[in-house]
A and B are shown apart, each in its own frame.
Chain A
Amino acid sequence: MMKFIPLVWAALMRKPVRVVLTLLSVMVAFTLFGLMIGLNATFDLMAEKARADRIYTWPRFGGNGVPVAVARQIEAIPGVKAVTALGFIPGYVQDPKNQTFLLMLDQNAGKVFGDWNVSAEMFDAVWKDRTGIVMTKAQAARWNKKVGDTFTMISKAVKRADGKNSWTFKVLAIANDVPQNSNGFIFGNYEYIDKARPLADQGKVSEIDLLADDPSASTDVAQRIDKKFANSATPMQTITEKLARSGNDFGGLDIKKITYGVALAGMFMVLFLTANGIAQSVRERFTEFATLKTIGFSDRAVTAMVVLESALPCILGAALGIGVAGILARQIPKLMPPNFGIPLPMISPMVILWAASAAFVVALLSAALPILRLKQMDIATALSGRG
């Protein structure tokens, strides 16, 4: 195979403009391919990494939150290991356009969310300094904050006992982001924030999250919670993390279907381009191939040359395209409207494997017809230039 490379290279270089344009087109199609299959890969990873023992529960019919006492009742349910209650304060920084939110976490948050990129020290920090918050890098970048800075958020939705609507905190630490939440998050001390609210609003949380003792029993535990509160003042809606993250679903949209469809359209586009390019190249050199056959090149050798000529731009274009996709993926959060994150595409080994396979399939399909023509060629006619 190696000995053909100079021949194939010479063939490609005969029409450098065509080869370069084909390469660029293939590269662009694989950039899109990488982003699409990469996005799907992130959803796959989220489903795979979903903790089998984690369960979320929140008030079934919305309303003004759930009493934190419910968290204590859930702790008493058999099979429950750890329970944490979360509050949620929506607000904005300076201008209502700059929407963000603050999570209020209790002391058990670290037990239930040990897999966030937040160290135990960071969780503890907001317990030692009650006016403190921790933000992830994405949020720190958005608000241009570093450790020690003051962060002020306006919230009109959550009332304060003192009648003000601004909440001021000190940034205690900056945590790494988690790939499934490219927007990042900010959290503070639940008790401190709760006490700042009017008495009537105190003691209420938005959501209660928990771990089951036995991961295989988490579905049962979820059902037990729903059943226990079905006829209470706050019926609960409970779901296991595994179920919540399954099915590559985004607000009811099937991510798998969309990403595969778009990637396929891109491949279809380059298939026509590469097939046409290789067919043209073989047509132009039909007499030369006849000569090669005359001097003893086997059908197999000629086939190999055509495949190689077709595959080189495909493989190279695919490699470059996937590289560009990796770079572009990191720019996505900058393009998104605030508070509307989508998990970032990731270039996993599986994505590279898919891209390589797609590149080979495109190369082989493109080469198929020219190869057939070369096989059936009548050498004498072709040599005379009448092929």
Chain B
Amino acid sequence: MLRQIFVVSAINIRSLKQRPWASLVVVVGMACVIGVLLSMLSLTEGMMDAYDKTGDPGRALVVSTGAQGEGNSSIPRDKARLIMDAPGIAKAPDGSPLADAGLNTGIPVYRLSGRQTYNNLRGFGPKGVMLRPEFHIVSGRMFRPGTRELIVGVLAKTQFKGMNVGDKVILPDGEWPIVGSYTTGDLLDGQLVGNTETVMKALRKPAYNSVLVRLTAPSAYSTFKGALTTNPALSVDPYLQTEWYKKIGANTFAFFKVIAYGIGIILAIGALFGCLNTMYAAVAARAREIATLRAIGYGAFPVALSVILEAVVLSVTGALIGAGIAWALYDGADGSFGTNVFKYAVSPSLFGLAMVWAVAVALLGGLLPSIRAARRPVVEALRAT
């Protein structure tokens, strides 16, 4: 049986070059489906990756009750002090809690296209850097607390104007020079950072936006959370930082996935009809050859399977080409949506997805023709012209 499958499939694949154009229909169709699907998903994938990296399971973020983003959360100073005294927070070398009250506010900037938009300006307090081992100054220097200075993430300049070291950012009290650039490898790479207290003074903000803490261990989170939620003086929502970034990104990711998969499915249905067409034609073209094989004792199953295998080979070839094009165009490309700055990603898991789609379309598109090939009466097929 296996030998039969192998022989029939080998004959089949070798005969492909006799029908190059018909075969190309499947290859091109699948290349279009996967090229479009993966190009669209590369945005979601890149953005999700940036969100995932920003979250650290060893850190917890505290926002005011019901806040849907750091921007609309407000933590007054006295509450911030209470939060930092909660159990479960790791200690800095000097014995103080490894926690930082932060700021996250939108400031108006221009996209490279000239459109008005916002970028995130974050405030780091005294522990801002210590809490984030992923943070490194790349060029220039760190801002000085108390001085009107900012630093900028390395990716901001790929999307917004005026985001280079030496540029100036306008805040309510005048121009703030950018004195350095940093990288964190996550969402912060698209943002601006200044000293929390200094920026709050300039923006006349009376309260912090959030408090970020380093937990003694990820398992200490329940202790920390319990202390905050049972304290009647606080009305705050603690989150493991990883959970927070899942929560705030969920709707955006769902939206882009609906669009990408919707478009991908429509295209795949079109490609499926093309695949059916090609495979029916292939079966018809090989009718006599198949009948001969059946006459000399080959089973119906190896014949049917060979048709499906042909469809799979063509479809997977097309998917690889499509995935390759999407990868060449978008993998690592600079991108942004709203205030999120990230790099598009055509990851290995997207290649895997492409293969699954390719095989699925080939199975659906090859099944009916393969049944026809296997069922056709041998005598009739042998007489066929």
- B-contacting residues of A (Cβ < 8 Å)? 17-18, 21-22, 24-25, 28-29, 31-32, 35, 60-64, 90, 96, 99, 155-157, 165, 233, 235, 237, 239, 243, 247, 249, 251-253, 261-262, 265-266, 268-270, 272-273, 275-277, 279-280, 335-340, 342
Contact = CB atoms under 8 A, between A and B. Distances in A.
Interface stretch (B63-71, B83-91, B137-145, B290-298): B63-71
Interface residues of B, number: 59
A269 B28 contact: yes
A342 B25 CA distance: 33
Scoring A24, A60, A272 by chain B CB atoms within 10 A of each residue's CB, the highest score goes to: A272
Contact of B205 (A24, A63, A156, A251): A63
Contact of B68 (A157, A233, A252): A157
Contacts of B240: none
Contact of B251 (A22, A157, A249, A338): A338
B266 A156 contact: no
A369 to B, nearest CB: 10
Main secondary structure of the interface of B (DSSP, over half): helix
Interface in B10-48: 21-22, 24-25, 28-29, 32-33, 35-36, 39-40, 43
Contact of A273 (B29, B113, B250, B255): B29
A25 B266 CA distance: 10
Interface string B131-156: 00000000000000000000000000
A32 B251 contact: no
9 contacts: A24-B273, A61-B203, A64-B74, A99-B68, A156-B65, A253-B337, A268-B28, A272-B28, A337-B254
Given A265-B32, A335-B262, A338-B251, 14 more contacts: A18-B281, A28-B269, A61-B105, A61-B107, A157-B67, A165-B66, A235-B172, A252-B159, A252-B336, A262-B36, A265-B36, A269-B33, A269-B274, A279-B21
A157 B72 contact: yes
B217 interface: no
A272 B25 contact: yes
B33 A28 contact: no
Interface in B164-187: 171-172
A247 B269 CA distance: 32
A252 B338 CA distance: 6
A251 B281 contact: no
Interface in B234-272: 250-252, 254-255, 258-259, 262-263, 266-267, 269-271
B338 A269 contact: no
B4 interface: no
B270 A32 contact: yes
Given A21-B273, A61-B171, A340-B251, A251 B66 contact: no
A275 B203 CA distance: 63
Contacts of A35: 263, 266
A273 B25 contact: yes
Interface in B100-152: 105-108, 111, 113, 115-117
B273 A63 contact: no
B208 interface: no
B198 interface: no
B276 interface: yes
Closest 6 CB pairs of A and B: A156-B66, A28-B270, A25-B273, A269-B32, A21-B277, A337-B254
Contacts of B224: none
Nearest to B74: A64
Contacts of A21: 273-274, 276-277, 280
A261 B204 CA distance: 46
Contacts of B271: 25, 269
Most chain A C-beta atoms within 10 Å of own C-beta, residue among B40, B116, B274: B274
B244 to A, nearest CB: 14
B174 to A, nearest CB: 10
A273 to B, nearest CB: 5
